[in-house]
């Protein structure tokens, strides 16, 4: 390759994903030469600690802890950001775009919090900002929403987009494990971080939901617009009852557009057994999309890991390289800033309630009254278990669709009833 056919690349981060990108980029020179007319060549790689021993064959001379070595190099025309975290990553991306460098990033947090601002900047500077790896790892999602599904009015997106929590929920469902035991197992296998809060709280999925909802509904959806709840309050009995009722329990990312308002939320949900999503197990991810023309689609695959994520990043590098060769850039999806975000307490959904009550007559009438006062109607009630020692019984109630604020009010009031020993759990039910 002659010097002029080289595309200088700066890599920010050489961890799980950066290591994969660095390894494969060099192996794909022929592919890039043929398909893009230029060959990406690593010029500098930013890390925190250049002295650390690393399982990669990146020449040590390329490593630097100085971001200036990457951002000030005029021969770096494309920056791949795989360092993670909000800052300083967002500052480096902004500066690279300002300087007219194309950027490929895997950073969901940055795109969920600063996506619209950064995309506008990329527009202004006439360069690409591509982020396929930020949601769903190796699963193509960003490009399909921007391109292949553009003629559709998307009505809903239901997604399992956090592999760690899906692994934990699968173990709880299959082996009847308590949450803590399933989490420990996931940590031992390297599927959960030593500090797992970002995943199990639903925050990681919320970032991805903001990105997906923006693209699906062409709306400005920020990370802070996404209500999220985690999985730690689920118990093995919830999985047992769900199964008896014909559901799986998944941490679902849900985004819908109704009457010009977008709702985006992440929480555990009952998913009907006859949805393919109910059978997406272990660390796999899946995204179900409903569109007015295409009907129902399901994207399924590995949502994380060095090689799947590298697959998405290199696709973006190819796109940017082709555009740089041709002196153009991608057309950008236009977002409608007028679309409103539906407040979480106004959503309507069905609910599963598990309640411990004293084992005596007249109890159900009192519970039905609390629900009925708030226009929540009961679809079915099953008495699951009676405990002779405590003289209490466990009721499982499925409701018809109700408003979230009404259900929260009812749960509060039931908690104060002498007819309720304890609210075991509540889980929202999809479809």
Ligand X SMILES: NC(=O)c1ccc[n+]([C@@H]2O[C@H](COP(=O)([O-])OP(=O)(O)OC[C@H]3O[C@@H](n4cnc5c(N)ncnc54)[C@H](OP(=O)(O)O)[C@@H]3O)[C@@H](O)[C@H]2O)c1
State the nearest-atom distance from the C-beta of 305 to ligand X, in Å: 5
Cis peptide, bond prior to residue 88, ω within 30 of zero = yes
Pick the piece of the chain touching ligand X (CB under 6 A) from 102-110, 257-265, 327-335, 390-398: 102-110
Q: Which residue is nearest to ligand X (CB)?
A: 15
State the nearest-atom distance from the C-beta of 212 to ligand X, in Å: 14
Indicate the DSSP class of residue 83: S
By beta-carbon proximity to ligand X, the closer residue of 141 and 280 is 141
Residues 104-143 that bind ligand X (CB under 6 A): 106-108, 133, 137
In angstroms, the CA 97 to CA 4 distance is: 22
In angstroms, the CA 368 to CA 195 distance is: 42
How many CA atoms are closer than 13 Å to the CA of 266, on its beta-carbon side?
32
Q: Out of 11, 82, 221, 251, which residue is the one contacting ligand X (CB under 6 A)?
A: 82
Q: Out of 9, 83, 200, 367, which residue is the one contacting ligand X (CB under 6 A)?
A: 83
- Over the window 315 to 334, marking each residue x when it contacts ligand X by CB under 6 A and - when it does not, the resulting string is --------------------
Q: Out of 8, 37, 305, 409, which residue is the one contacting ligand X (CB under 6 A)?
A: 305
Q: Out of 10, 84, 196, 202, which residue is the one contacting ligand X (CB under 6 A)?
A: 84
By beta-carbon proximity to ligand X, the closer residue of 18 and 268 is 18
Pick the piece of the chain touching ligand X (CB under 6 A) from 48-56, 141-149, 173-181, 391-399: 48-56
DSSP 195-251: S-HHHHTSHHHHHHHHHHHHHHHTB---GGG-EE--STT--HHHHHHHHHHTEEEEE
49 in contact with ligand X (CB under 6 A): yes
Q: Out of 11, 14, 231, 249, which residue is the one contacting ligand X (CB under 6 A)?
A: 14
24 in contact with ligand X (CB under 6 A): no
Q: Which of 108, 208, 250, 342 is catalytic?
A: 208
For the question of residue 28 being annotated catalytic, the response is no
Residues in contact with 50: Cβ distance below 8 Å, sequence separation at least 6, in sequence order: 60, 63, 64, 65
Percentages helix, strand, coil for the chain, rounded to the nearest 5? 40, 30, 30
389 in contact with ligand X (CB under 6 A): no
Short-list 65, 109, 312, CA closest to 203: 109
Pick the piece of the chain touching ligand X (CB under 6 A) from 14-22, 151-159, 258-266, 351-359: 14-22
Question: Helix (H) and strand (E) counts for the chain?
Answer: 14, 18
Inter-residue contact 406 to 376 (CB < 8 Å) = yes
By beta-carbon proximity to ligand X, the closer residue of 40 and 303 is 303
Residue whose tokens read 């490929």: 104
Residues in contact with 87: Cβ distance below 8 Å, sequence separation at least 6, in sequence order: none
By beta-carbon proximity to ligand X, the closer residue of 93 and 220 is 93
C-alpha separations of 78 from 64, 75, 101, 139, 265 in Å? 17, 9, 5, 23, 34
Q: Out of 47, 102, 104, 318, which residue is the one contacting ligand X (CB under 6 A)?
A: 47
Would you please indicate which residues are annotated as catalytic (active-site) residues?
Answer: 208
Residues forming the site for ligand X (CB under 6 A): 13-18, 46-49, 52, 82-84, 88, 106-108, 133, 137, 304-305, 309
């Amino acid at each position: 390759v002659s010097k002029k056919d080289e595309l200088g690349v700066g890599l920010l981060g050489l961890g799980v994903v950066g290591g994969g990108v660095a390894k494969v980029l060099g192996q794909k020179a022929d592919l890039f030469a043929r398909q893009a007319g230029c060959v990406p060549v690593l010029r500098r790689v930013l890390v925190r600690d250049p002295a650390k021993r690393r399982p990669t064959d990146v020449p040590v001379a390329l490593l630097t802890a100085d971001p200036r070595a990457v951002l000030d190099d005029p021969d770096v025309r494309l920056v791949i950001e795989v360092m993670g975290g909000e800052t300083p990553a967002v500052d480096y991306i902004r500066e690279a775009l300002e300087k007219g460098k194309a950027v490929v990033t895997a950073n969901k947090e940055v795109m969920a919090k600063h996506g619209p601002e950064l995309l506008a900047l990329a527009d202004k500077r006439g360069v690409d900002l591509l982020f396929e790896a930020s949601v769903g790892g190796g699963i193509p999602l960003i490009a399909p929403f921007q391109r292949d599904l553009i003629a559709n009015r998307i009505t809903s997106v239901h997604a399992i987009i956090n592999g760690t929590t899906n692994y934990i929920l699968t173990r709880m469902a299959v082996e009847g494990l308590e949450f803590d035991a399933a989490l420990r197992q996931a940590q031992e296998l390297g599927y959960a971080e030593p500090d797992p809060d970002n995943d199990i709280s639903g925050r990681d999925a919320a970032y991805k939901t903001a990105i997906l909802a923006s693209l699906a509904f062409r709306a400005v959806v920020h990370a802070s617009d996404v209500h999220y709840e985690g999985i730690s309050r689920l118990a093995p009995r919830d999985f047992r009852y769900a199964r008896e009722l014909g559901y799986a329990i998944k941490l679902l990312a849900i985004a819908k557009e109704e009457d010009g308002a977008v709702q985006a939320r992440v929480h555990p949900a009952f998913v009907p057994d006859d949805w393919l999503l109910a059978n997406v197990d272990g660390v796999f991810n899946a995204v179900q999309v409903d569109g007015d023309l295409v009907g129902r689609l399901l994207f399924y695959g590995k949502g994380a890991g060095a090689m799947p994520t590298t697959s998405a990043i290199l696709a973006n590098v190819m796109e940017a390289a082709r555009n740089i060769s041709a002196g153009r850039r991608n057309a950008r999806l236009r977002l409608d800033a007028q679309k409103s975000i539906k407040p979480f307490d106004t959503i309507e959904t069905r609910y599963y309630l598990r309640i411990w009550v004293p084992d005596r007559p007249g109890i159900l009438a009192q519970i039905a009254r609390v629900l009925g006062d708030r226009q929540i109607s009961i679809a079915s009630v099953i008495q699951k278990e009676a405990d002779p020692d405590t003289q209490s019984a466990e009721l499982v109630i499925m409701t018809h669709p109700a408003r979230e604020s009404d259900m929260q009010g009812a749960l509060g009031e039931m908690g104060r009833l002498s007819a309720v020993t304890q609210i075991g759990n509540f889980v929202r039910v999809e479809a």
